[in-house]
Chains A and B, each alone.
Chain A
Amino acid sequence: MIKKFLAVLMVSIFFCSTAFAIMINGAGATFPYPIYMKWNKVFSQQSGIKVNYQGIGSGGGQRQFIAGITDFGGSDAPMTDAQIQKAGGDVLHIPTVMGAVAVSYNLAGVSNLKLDGDAVVDIFMGKIKKWDDPSITVLNPGVSLPAKDILVVHRSDGSGTTSIFTTYLAKVSLKWASQVGKGKAVSWPAGIGGKGNFGVAGQIKANSGAIGYVELSYAIKNNLPVVSLKNKSGMFIKPSLDSTSAAASGAMQSKKLMKMVNAGDFRLNLTNAPGSGSYPIVGMTWLLVHKNMKGSSKGAALVKYIKWALSDGQKYAPELLYAPLPKSVRRKVLNVVDTIKL
């Protein structure tokens, strides 16, 4: 009986392995995982093309893509030129959506904390140790801050969120840039680590006096208060979809970024963007694909998916707390996608 059952099962497995056609596999950043999952579901229903994406982290997304194990990668941190060489030299960074990294805290009675870049740097460097430090109180007139110790919470794993956050810190502070640096994982001068956005949010929630950074959606889903950060124009801005979009359009004013966009390089740094309504810690997330997909049976399907994600797919972003790409950028990206060799 059992043997027969097994035999039937085996035969059906081998039969099925030829019956299904295209499955595109991708892996990488966890930050866009919820929106990619939504896209993949809707897209597979509309087109019959199955795109499988798994959130394993940006570093892993790059490694598995370089090794040729996945058809495309997902990353919140751009690949370096050396990595691109290793992947065959023909890697396109396709931006899909944007998001904000919120600085979140746990301080009873304080719901509208304001900080500037220097204060954030000093807190995460461990230089500011108490909540009633003059450099914090001066930014928060009228707010009574307790003489409590500050507990810094950061990521313990490699992460695109960390990359965006440290890119911002390195941009506003030479001290941070030279002593700590920026990247998916850095050697933190202070604080405790949490695994994933989830771990950081959990530790902030559990510890009174804690401060940490998480993606906006995690702060909102966990009802954590978020810091209003002083932007380039001197305004204190809360992270939100609007302030994220404002940051993107602000950043596009920059000649350097426009030049990159026109040259088809979308590894844009959106942190500390100009504009009065811009939130300063904003980043984009990319799909990593090969420019040359000749001979790959999946190339056409993958291009179709990318085009869909950049057009119809964008409308699903806001409900999941991602900011859609600015139209101007989207157009340029689609032009570049058209140059993919099939």
Chain B
Amino acid sequence: MKNKGDVWFKRITFLFASSIPFLLFILVFILLQKSLPAIVEFGPGFVFGTVWDPLADKFSALPFIYGTMISSLIALAIAVPLGMGCAIYLSEVSQSKFKEYIAVMVELLAAIPSVVYGLWGIFVLGPWLVKIIPGMTYGTCMLTGGVILAIMILPTITAISREVFQAVPYNLRESAMALGATKWECFKLAIFGPATSGIIGAIILGLGRALGETMAVTMVIGNRPKISASLFAPAYTLASVIANEFAEATSDLNLSALIELALILLVITILINGVARLLVWKTTLKYNPR
């Protein structure tokens, strides 16, 4: 009964579709295979050690995990309040035409290439931060890295929070308004509650972006594999050590250790994105079942 063309059509499109999990599988397999020497050599201690010494062929990941986490947390500390405020303004407060311009501009922030942020970070943001923050002596440090990341994840957090707010049914708002609530009260009482898990999802998605961001951070964070309590000290992230040293690595073990760092980064981002998607999906689905 079935048309022969249809059968082939289904087969061919399936071939293309199934190449996506296939590519993913090869990717994970290659990373595992290539990081095996480092995994065998250093064992689980790799994750907790603090030494990165190419001369002695001793490698461990903690300084980079630390740098990645702290710079991303700085980014969240700045971008979450700012992005949420921006999203509230866009979805709840403003009715003017002005709001559309703001929305477009925040969106454009996401379109600017990472390397351009890096260039701007080196020559504009870094020196500016040194000027306004007492105690900061040079522009390439953890704080500059965090601020750059904050700017880069701002669009993600704003856009998804806005989406989440708008997914909250309008009648919840109307009932709050009908009781004479101000916009603040309306937001606090009717919107924030239902949107909570979605907001957390937005934050975690932002975090996911911050963790994997490479070039801009590499250009401003100072690239030093030491754990330091000071935000004004240079630091290093997982992604930036790969960018800096991957083509440069001398020994095989060094290369393998870098690929193991990539594997760690991969696992962290996949986990975080999984959780975030689940949360965003839960909120939007609760009110807008497809």
A60 contacts which chain B residues (CB < 8 A)? 247-250
Q: Mark B226-268, 1 if CB is under 8 A from A, else 0.
A: 0000000110000000001101111000010000000000000
Give the contacting residue for A184; candidates B51, B137, B250; CB below 8 A.
B250
* CB contact under 8 A between A157 and B245, given known A199-B140, A206-B138: yes
Residues of chain A within 8 A of B140, CB atoms compared: 194-195, 199, 202-203
- With an 8 A cutoff between CB atoms, is B56 at the interface? yes
CB-CB nearest in chain A for B140: A199
Q: Do A192 and B250 touch (CB < 8 A)? A: no
B156 at the interface (CB under 8 A from A): no
Q: Is the CB of B247 within 8 A of A57?
A: yes
B255 cross-chain contacts in A, Cβ below 8 A: 63
- Contact in complex: B138, A203 (CB < 8 Å): yes
Within 8 A of A (CB), among B4-63: 51, 53-56
- Report the Cα distance A207→B224, complex, angstroms: 17
Point out the residue from B51, B137, B244 that lies within 8 Å of A207, measured CB to CB. Answer: B137
Cβ-defined contact, A207 with B138, below 8 A = yes
Closest to A79 in B: B250
Whether A56 and B234, one on each chain, are in contact in the complex, defined by CB atoms closer than 8 angstroms, is no
* Closest CB in chain B relative to A73 CB, distance in Å: 12
Chain B proximity mask over A191-203: 1 for CB below 8 Å, otherwise 0:
0111100010011
- Chain A-chain B contacts (Cβ-Cβ < 8 Å), number: 72
- Do most interface residues of chain B lie in helix, strand or loop, or is the interface mixed? loop
Partner of A193, one of B56, B137, B222: B222
Instruction: State whether the Cβ of A64 lies closer than 8 Å to any Cβ in chain B.
Output: yes
Given the interface pairs A63-B255, A187-B53, the reply to whether A158 lies near B250 with Cβ below 8 Å is yes
B55 touches A156 (CB 8 A): no
Within the complex, what minimum Cβ distance (angstroms) separates B34 from chain A? 13
Partner of B244, one of A184, A187, A195: A195
**Which of chain A's residues have a CB closer than 8 A to the CB of B138?**
202-203, 206-207
Which of B139, B224, B225, B249 is A59 in contact with, Cβ under 8 Å? Answer: B249
Nearest CB of B to A306, in Å: 23
> Which one of A185, A199, A203 has the highest number of Cβ atoms from chain B below 10 Å of its Cβ?
A185
- Give the nearest-CB partner of A157 in chain B: B244
Residues in A neighbouring B249, C-beta threshold 8 A: 59-60, 63
Chain B residues within 8 Å of A199, by CB: 140, 222-223
The residues of A that contact B245 with a CB separation of less than 8 Å are: 157-158
With a cutoff of 8 Å between Cβ atoms, the chain B residues found around residue A202 in the complex are 138, 140
Query: Chain B contact residues (Cβ within 8 angstroms of A): what range?
Result: 20 to 34
Known: A184-B54, A193-B234. A156 touches B248 (CB 8 A): no
> A158 and B248: CB pair below 8 A?
yes
Closest chain A residue, CB of each to CB of B250: A59
For A181, the closest partner residue in chain B by CB is: B55
Which of A156, A186, A206 contacts B223, CB < 8 Å? A156
Q: A158 to B224, Cβ gap below 8 A?
A: no
Output the nearest chain A residue to B254 by Cβ-Cβ distance.
A59
- A residues contacting the other copy or chain, number (CB 8 A): 26
A56 partner residues in chain B, CB cutoff 8 A: 247-248
Tell me, in angstroms, the Cα distance from A185 to B59 when the chains sit together: 13
Q: Given A202-B138, A203-B138, A206-B137, A192 and B224 touching (CB < 8 A)?
A: yes
**When each residue 150-193 of chain A gets 1 if its CB lies under 8 Å from chain B and 0 otherwise, what string results?**
00000011100000000000000000000001011111000011
Residues of B within 8 A of A271 (CB): none
Within the assembled complex, what's the spacing in Å between the Cα atoms of A195 and B138?
Answer: 13
User: Does the CB pair A156–B234 fall under 8 Å?
Assistant: yes
What residues of B have a CB within 8 angstroms of the CB of A207 in the complex?
137-138
Q: Is the CB of A158 within 8 A of B222?
A: no
- The answer to whether A96 has its CB under 8 Å from any CB of chain B is no
When the two chains form their complex, are residues A192 and B55 in contact, meaning their CB atoms are under 8 A apart?
no
What A residues does B225 contact at CB under 8 A?
156
Bound: A288/B139 CA distance, A? 37
* Minimum C-beta distance from B148 to chain A (A): 15
Interface string of A47-62 (1 = CB under 8 A from B): 0000000001101101
Shortest CB-to-CB span from B246 to chain A, Å, is: 8
Shortest distance in angstroms between B67's beta carbon and chain A's nearest beta carbon? 12
Interface residues of A in 95-122 (CB under 8 A from B): none
How distant is A109 from chain B, measured CB to nearest CB, in Å?
20
**Distance in Å: Cβ of A77 to nearest Cβ of chain B:** 9
Contact A57 B222 (CB under 8 A): no
Nearest-CB residue, chain B, relative to A206: B138
Cα of A60 to Cα of B248 in the assembled complex, Å? 3
Q: Contact: A156 with B224, CB < 8 Å?
A: yes
Complex: how many Å from CA A27 to CA B247?
Answer: 10
A187-B55 in contact given A57-B248, A199-B140, A206-B138 (Cβ < 8 Å):
yes
- How far is B26's CA from A116's CA once the two chains are assembled, in angstroms? 56
Contacts A/B (CB < 8 Å), 8 sampled: A59-B54, A63-B248, A63-B249, A184-B55, A195-B222, A195-B244, A206-B137, A206-B139
Interface residues of B (CB under 8 A from A): 51, 53-56, 130, 137-140, 222-225, 233-234, 244-245, 247-250, 255
Across the A-B interface, the 5 shortest Cβ-Cβ residue pairs? A60-B248, A59-B250, A193-B224, A57-B248, A60-B247
